[in-house]
């Protein structure tokens, strides 16, 4: 007679070394092991990961975890492997040999958990492997990214909901730390999760003291130095711009603090050095953009200061959630400066493409035939669409049944010979040697590397492209060359023969404009919280659907009984006095970059675009001339 399966608590104790589940975890695990679908909305650090890690050890098959965060994948895999749990990841940082090894383990059924980035599902070979694999659970982290009305929408997430049936996953778990009731409903609808299985543990953190400090822009640096004069433990200072991070960190360092900048523009090794030093410090300060914090597990952060306004309450809640995860009292302070509003609004407006750009994109795509491949960077440059905006537009077309994306491939490779080409060919005999010699003859020598286009080489020597790619891969596996892939191409198929291009363009424009209005409204929510005449903690958690009867007693309003009043924004001259007389001539000189009023408004507000970069207008003295002025006003003036 077979022995009974262990209970969740037994697995928790024996495999993870814990003796009890945290609030909400039991309900999520019960929903997964029973009906098979759940949504976990837990605050940062509240134990979302265990909700799929524990069931993964109780179910037959592999648990597939979708996460956009490579750093988080690495940390969790280290944690699991330390406990003897078979876990792996597939992401862009792996070599071809590492990807093959993980794929082999997946096919052999040797993995308990596999972490993947959402983009991996564009790979048809990966999907074929999954169809032949027993999937126990499909877990989607950062699930708010699926909602167009969430604060961190990612195009590839929109396609995840339809994947559950395609890969045959019997159970699904969505996870997020920040979701409003509308986003919760969006996630549940997309993944077919019953409302009763949406487990929201609450957002109230009794150990966090919310402080709102109205401040003028010129006073912020002095106020920050004043706040940090008395060491309070590890600190994060959030800013909007990379250059602000550098400047503020340098200012604090001059004042004697152990302060360092952290942002996406830094070299990866330097970012890792800053992060590791801060993680080990008991008093370090990181001045960071939102690139910092995702997946970082440091329990003793005592202070989080928003030097600039956050772009949304969702971002704010996530960022302050990194304070006091050990339960000890911690302070989160918001420097409420109205001068930040114009710049943050500009980011929202700047992502909205022009109708001409979208119509030009559609015309090009529909002129390529029923099956085609494209380069995102090339399309981005030709149609003045940032790559993320371009990918969003293409995803909309996929969801509307206009296009279907295939598996991306590399159109070119760079080869670095480890042995001379003659010696490499001499390792083969007969027909294979002739094939290798003809293939290597197609490699074009550069200063340090050889370049080869697999499709062109295959056509030139009369061989299938697949054989060329197999040979190049074999050379690398045998240590004969190193390969550097380049020029990634994205294949698509048209699913309909006839489309009303004008109607499609109008629909895309309307979607992006709705998105723009939503982003601007999020910033209004931040300002409303800063000036709220009532318990600000209750107002913040109320944004996420949590209702509390008693005031927190430790926010700025509860401490003073007075609602914050923001100082007036710095005055700006009227637009006619600011817009240069020669702007019309400059726009006529660069119609592709500045011809549309929205393009010109972006340029004057300091928002770069592919066309501005191609025209080398980013260093023009008028670029960013109106950076402190509301984008909507500039756009209206130029229209």
pLDDT at 253: 95
Quick one: 547 and 585 in the same domain? Answer: no
Element (H, E) at 344: helix 340-350
CA dihedral of 564, 566, 567, 571, whole degrees rounded to 10: -170
Quick one: 386 and 308 in the same domain? Answer: yes
Residue 136 has pLDDT above 80, yes or no: yes
Quick one: 453 and 593 in the same domain? Answer: no
Mean pLDDT along residues 119-126: 77
Higher-confidence position of 106 and 72: 106
Structure tokens given for 614 = 């191609």
In a domain, 168, yes or no: yes
Mean predicted lDDT score pLDDT of the chain: 89
In a domain, 248, yes or no: no
pLDDT at 277: 92
**What angle do helix axes 454-461 and 465-477 make, rounded to 10 degrees?**
120
In a domain, 424, yes or no: yes
Residue 148 has pLDDT above 80, yes or no: no
In a domain, 401, yes or no: no
The residues pairing with 199 across neighbouring beta strands, listed in sequence order, are 40
Quick one: 430 and 532 in the same domain? Answer: no
In a domain, 628, yes or no: yes
Residue 1 has pLDDT above 50, yes or no: no
Range in 7-16, 31-40, 153-162, 412-421 the model is least confident about: 153-162
- What residues make up the domain containing 485? 409-492
Give the number of residues written for the chain.
639
Q: In sequence order, which residues have a C-beta less than 8 Å from that of residue 377 and are 6 or more positions away?
A: 387
In a domain, 122, yes or no: yes
Quick one: 219 and 329 in the same domain? Answer: yes
Quick one: 478 and 501 in the same domain? Answer: no
Residue 465 has pLDDT above 60, yes or no: yes
| Rounded percentage of the chain residues whose pLDDT exceeds 70 | 97
pLDDT at 249: 96
DSSP H stretches of helix in 44-84: 50-56, 70-82
How many domains is the chain built from?
A: 4
pLDDT at 448: 82
Q: What is the DSSP string of 416-453?
A: EESS-HHHHHHTS-HHHHHHHHHHHTTPEE-SS-EEE-
Residue 56 has pLDDT above 60, yes or no: yes
Integer-rounded Cα Rg, in Å, for the chain is 27
User: How far is it, in rounded angstroms, from Cα 626 to Cα 606?
Assistant: 7
In a domain, 37, yes or no: yes
Residue 122 has pLDDT above 80, yes or no: no
pLDDT digits (tens, 9 = 90+) for 259-290: 999 988 888 788 888 988 999 998 999 999 87
Residue 473 has pLDDT above 90, yes or no: no
pLDDT digits (tens, 9 = 90+) for 371-410: 999 999 999 999 999 998 999 999 899 888 999 888 788 8
| Signed CA dihedral, 248, 249, 253, 258: sign only | positive
Quick one: 579 and 433 in the same domain? Answer: no
Residue 531 has pLDDT above 90, yes or no: yes
Main-chain phi, psi angles of 549, to 5 degrees:
-85, -30
User: How far is it, in rounded angstroms, from Cα 418 to Cα 295?
Assistant: 39
Range in 445-449, 562-566, 570-574 the model is least confident about: 570-574
End-to-end, the C-alpha distance of the chain in Å comes to: 79
Given 524, 540, 567, the domain boundary residue is 567
Given 492, 514, 533, the domain boundary residue is 492
Quick one: 313 and 423 in the same domain? Answer: no
Place 295 in a pLDDT band, splitting at 50, 70 and 90: low
Given 434, 468, 492, the domain boundary residue is 492
pLDDT at 570: 81
Range in 84-88, 157-161, 608-612 the model is least confident about: 157-161
Question: Which of 21, 59, 57, 58 has its CA nearest to residue 40?
Answer: 21
Quick one: 304 and 214 in the same domain? Answer: yes
Quick one: 550 and 441 in the same domain? Answer: no
Range in 59-73, 138-152, 270-284, 493-507 the model is least confident about: 138-152
Quick one: 13 and 26 in the same domain? Answer: yes
Higher-confidence position of 71 and 150: 71
User: How far is it, in rounded angstroms, from Cα 212 to Cα 557?
Assistant: 9
Quick one: 362 and 460 in the same domain? Answer: no
Element (H, E) at 600: helix 597-604
pLDDT digits (tens, 9 = 90+) for 175-221: 988 888 888 998 999 899 999 999 998 889 999 999 999 999 999 99
Higher-confidence position of 7 and 587: 587
In a domain, 285, yes or no: no
Residue 516 has pLDDT above 50, yes or no: yes
pTM of the model: 0.83
User: How far is it, in rounded angstroms, from Cα 240 to Cα 218?
Assistant: 16
């Amino acid at each position: 007679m077979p022995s009974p399966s262990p209970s969740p608590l037994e697995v928790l104790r024996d495999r993870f070394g814990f003796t009890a589940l945290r609030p909400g975890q039991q309900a999520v695990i019960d929903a997964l092991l029973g009906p098979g679908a759940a949504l976990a909305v837990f605050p940062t650090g509240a134990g979302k990961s265990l909700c799929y890690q524990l069931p993964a050890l109780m179910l037959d098959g592999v648990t597939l975890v979708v996460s956009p965060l490579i750093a988080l994948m690495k940390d969790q895999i280290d944690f699991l492997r330390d406990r003897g749990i078979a876990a792996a990841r597939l992401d862009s940082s792996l070599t071809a040999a590492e990807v093959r090894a993980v794929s082999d383990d997946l096919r052999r059924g040797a993995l308990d958990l596999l972490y993947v980035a959402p983009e991996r599902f564009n790979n048809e070979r990966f999907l074929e492997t999954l169809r032949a694999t027993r999937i126990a659970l499909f877990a989607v982290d950062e699930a708010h990214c699926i909602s167009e009305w969430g604060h961190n929408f990612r195009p590839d997430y929109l396609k995840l909901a339809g994947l559950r049936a395609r890969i045959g996953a019997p159970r699904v778990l969505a996870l997020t730390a920040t979701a409003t009731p509308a986003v919760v409903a969006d996630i549940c609808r997309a993944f077919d999760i019953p409302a009763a299985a949406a487990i929201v543990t609450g957002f109230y953190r009794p150990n966090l003291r919310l402080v709102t400090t109205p401040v003028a822009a010129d006073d912020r640096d002095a106020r920050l130095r004043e706040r940090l004069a008395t060491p309070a433990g590890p600190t994060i200072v959030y800013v909007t711009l990379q250059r602000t991070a550098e400047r503020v960190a340098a200012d604090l360092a001059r004042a004697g603090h152990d302060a360092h900048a952290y942002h996406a523009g830094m070299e990866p090794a330097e970012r890792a050095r800053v992060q590791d030093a801060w993680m080990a410090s008991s008093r370090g300060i990181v001045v960071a953009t939102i690139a910092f914090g995702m997946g970082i597990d440091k329990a003793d952060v005592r202070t989080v200061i928003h030097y600039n306004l956050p772009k949304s309450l969702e971002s704010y809640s996530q960022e302050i959630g990194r304070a006091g995860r050990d339960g000890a009292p911690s302070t989160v302070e918001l420097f409420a400066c109205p001068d930040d509003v114009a710049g943050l609004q500009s980011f929202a407006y700047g992502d909205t493409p022009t109708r001409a750009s979208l119509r030009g994109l559609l015309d090009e795509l529909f002129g390529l035939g029923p099956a085609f491949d494209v380069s995102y960077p090339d399309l981005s440059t030709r149609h003045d669409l940032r790559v993320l905006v371009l990918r969003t537009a293409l995803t909309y077309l996929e969801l509307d049944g206009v296009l279907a994306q295939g598996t991306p491939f590399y159109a070119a490779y760079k080869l670095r010979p480890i042995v001379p080409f003659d010696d490499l060919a001499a390792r083969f005999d007969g027909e294979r040697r002739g094939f290798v010699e003809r293939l290597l003859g197609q490699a074009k020598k550069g200063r340090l590397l050889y370049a080869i286009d697999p499709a062109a080489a295959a056509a030139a020597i009369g061989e299938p492209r697949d054989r060329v790619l197999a040979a190049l891969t074999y050379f690398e596996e045998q240590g004969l060359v190193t390969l550097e892939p380049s020029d990634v191409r994205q294949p698509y198929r048209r699913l309909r023969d006839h489309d009303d291009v004008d109607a499609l363009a109008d629909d895309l424009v309307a979607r992006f404009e709705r998105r723009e209005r939503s982003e601007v409204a999020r910033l209004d929510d931040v300002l409303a919280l800063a000036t709220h005449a009532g318990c600000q903690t209750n107002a913040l958690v109320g944004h996420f659907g949590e209702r509390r009867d008693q005031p927190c007693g430790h926010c700025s309003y509860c401490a003073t009984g007075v609602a914050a009043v923001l100082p007036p924004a710095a005055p700006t001259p009227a637009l006619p006095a600011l817009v240069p007389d020669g702007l019309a001539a400059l726009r006529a000189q660069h119609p592709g970059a500045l011809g549309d009023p929205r393009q010109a408004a972006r340029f004057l507000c300091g928002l770069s675009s592919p066309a501005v970069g191609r025209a080398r207008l980013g260093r023009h003295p008028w670029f960013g001339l109106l950076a402190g002025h509301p984008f909507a006003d500039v756009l209206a003036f130029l229209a």
